[in-house]
Structure 1
Amino acid sequence: MPAQSEPYDGPAIVTFAKELEWRRKQAGLTKKELAEKLGFADSYVGQVELRKNLPSEEFAAALDTYFKVDGLFRRLWERINETRHLTILPPGFPEYLGYEEKASHVRVFSTNLISGLFQTEAYAGTIISLMMGSATPKFVAERMERKSIFERENPPHTFLVMDEDVIRRSVGGTEVMREQLNYLLEVGQREKTQLQIVPYAVGFHAGLAGSFIILGFENEPDVAYTEASAEGILLKRRDRVALQVVTWDLIQGQTLSTEESLAMIQDAMEQL
């Protein structure tokens, strides 16, 4: 897996890195010397210590064998693997999920990719693989579980608006994208769901600043969630949420009708 610019901050990853550094220094070895003994690139050893890359199962096994620590690094690797999905969640998103489960109204705007609430397993798997290096079934299943809010006895009223680019961009290949678009057509037919698209013809519009979600509740103030550059922000202050509502209104004012939007999705699917 390629190194990233910012270090991972998951507790298990931090523990692995500190344990590696401590045992290497106790053995009086440089990163390059340890790498040579283990058969790994010295840059990789440094990346793992700096938490800019994740340790592989093979690397953990090699450390256990060399340092004779009775499976310590293997156990730490397993813990990293179990909690790895938490390391890719943007700040604010775990708290947002708690609100999402009880929302009575959901307004979603997507500018680049289809929102996780409306993804198929294959589409979600493609995205998760890109972010994590592999699409572990557990992580895909957790994303699919979010859809359970639409299966409640009283599901939320849902308003889904997407930039046309979302349905034209191929993710995962022809079959994955065709299945995903067909699923969107099904979503658009739900009784309490309104699906609309902002067409290319609009040109520049307020939604190009980024995707966001506004959640409404029966007896609580609205909250909003937005992401940019892998940073998530949960908005609870009324003035900031109000700005998102204004942005939503500006975007929705430039959408196609529901019927035109579903026809565009059908056209995109037929062109694949």
Structure 2
Amino acid sequence: MVQAREIDPSASPLDYYGYELRRLREGAGLKQSQLGDIIYCTGSLIGMVENGRRVPTRDFSERVDAALGTDGHFSRLVGLVLRSVLPTWFQAYAEMEARATFISTFQSQVVYGLLQTEAYAKALLSVEYSGRVDEIVAARLDRQRILAREIPPVLLVVLDEALLHRRVGGREVMREQLAHLLTFVDRPWVQLQVMPFSVGEHTGMTGSFNLLRFDSDPDLFYAESYDSGHMTANSQVIRERSVGYARLQADALSPEDSALLIARVMEERYGDQCGPDRRAVA
């Protein structure tokens, strides 16, 4: 059993979650091990969450709500918890992304976070967050819930062909990731395009960026550097980047040809014909 420590519920969303879990578990007359038996986990995991030493998942929260009859209390809290574990400089963008009705993104290095598989995200994030990769991955996957809404945001995506070839996590991870991209081809609110190598220079070569549009708020432009994010509603920046994005869409392959390219790279570079050295057979 994990030794209980005093929790200040005002210290962070994670501490508030742990405080509430302990309070409502004890109110239900359950020991940590008993609650663990009900929701199919160990009592020590319950203790670590209560002590703020483990970030809860959405599945864990839903099972706790069902076990304690808390009417979605923890399912609502977990969104705040997961967002709080994101890098501080990224949290403001994540909040705006969740509210956007139109998202336009150009990505030159990696697949856009909303379209990443769990395995791809884990391989990518383990480079910088090896000590807390599971909680960062959980937070990234939780962002993707906006795509499952009854009315999701319109999502316009242009991906540089280079990221299709950049091996993140190994052959199987990349094959799964590219297959996942293809599942978005027929969704009416998603337009996925690839900027092919054959285009040469283009307006996105200065780096990845996102444009967010809202029903009643000003448009936003967002870009990242190594350890910070820049977000602005400056009308001139929005104007310039919107024109730049339109040019990217015009230069990129059509959605149909993009899907064919993704499928071809998936089979030729990451398919079963790859040899034992895990390189694509020429």
TM-score scaled to structure 1, two decimals? 0.66
- Mean Cα deviation higher: 236-245 or 154-163: 236-245
- Does the 8 Å contact 1:128/1:135 carry over to 2? no
2:135 aligned partner, one-letter code: K
- Equivalences for residues 237-256 of structure 1 within 5 A: 237-256=234-253
- Does the 8 Å contact 1:120/1:179 carry over to 2? yes
Q: Does residue 196 of structure 2 align to residue 199 of structure 1?
A: yes
Distance in structure 1 (CA, Å) of the matches to 2:148 and 2:198: 35
2:215 aligned partner, one-letter code: E
Q: 210, 214, 235: which is aligned to 2:211?
A: 214
- Does the 8 Å contact 1:88/1:131 carry over to 2? no
Deviations 1:188-214 (A, max 9, x none): 221211110110001111111111111
The match for 2:254 is 257
The match for 2:87 is 89
Distance in structure 1 (CA, Å) of the matches to 2:88 and 2:168: 21
Distance in structure 2 (CA, Å) of the matches to 1:250 and 1:221: 22
- Does the 8 Å contact 1:90/1:230 carry over to 2? no
The match for 1:122 is 119
The match for 1:148 is 145
Distance in structure 2 (CA, Å) of the matches to 1:270 and 1:124: 21
Q: Any gaps of 5 or more consecutive residues in structure 1?
A: 1-10, 12-77
Quick check: which has more Rg, 1 or 2?
Answer: 1
1:240 aligned partner, one-letter code: V
Q: Relative contact order, CA 8 A, sep 6+: which one is greater?
A: 1
TM-score scaled to structure 2, two decimals? 0.64
Deviations 1:236-265 (A, max 9, x none): 222222222122112112011111000000
The match for 1:171 is 168
How much has 1:97 moved relative to structure 2?
1.2
Distance in structure 2 (CA, Å) of the matches to 1:266 and 1:144: 24
Deviations 1:131-166 (A, max 9, x none): 112463222111001111111111111111111001
Cα 1:186–1:215 change in 2 (3 A) is same
Q: Any gaps of 5 or more consecutive residues in structure 2?
A: 1-10, 12-50, 56-80, 271-282
- Does the 8 Å contact 2:86/2:136 carry over to 1? no
- Does the 8 Å contact 2:156/2:192 carry over to 1? yes
Cα 1:89–1:249 change in 2 (3 A) is same
Distance in structure 1 (CA, Å) of the matches to 2:227 and 2:112: 14
How much has 1:102 moved relative to structure 2?
1.3
How much has 1:81 moved relative to structure 2?
8.3
Distance in structure 2 (CA, Å) of the matches to 1:161 and 1:223: 18
Distance in structure 1 (CA, Å) of the matches to 2:166 and 2:105: 18
The match for 1:160 is 157
Identity percentage of aligned residues = 35
Distance in structure 1 (CA, Å) of the matches to 2:168 and 2:131: 15
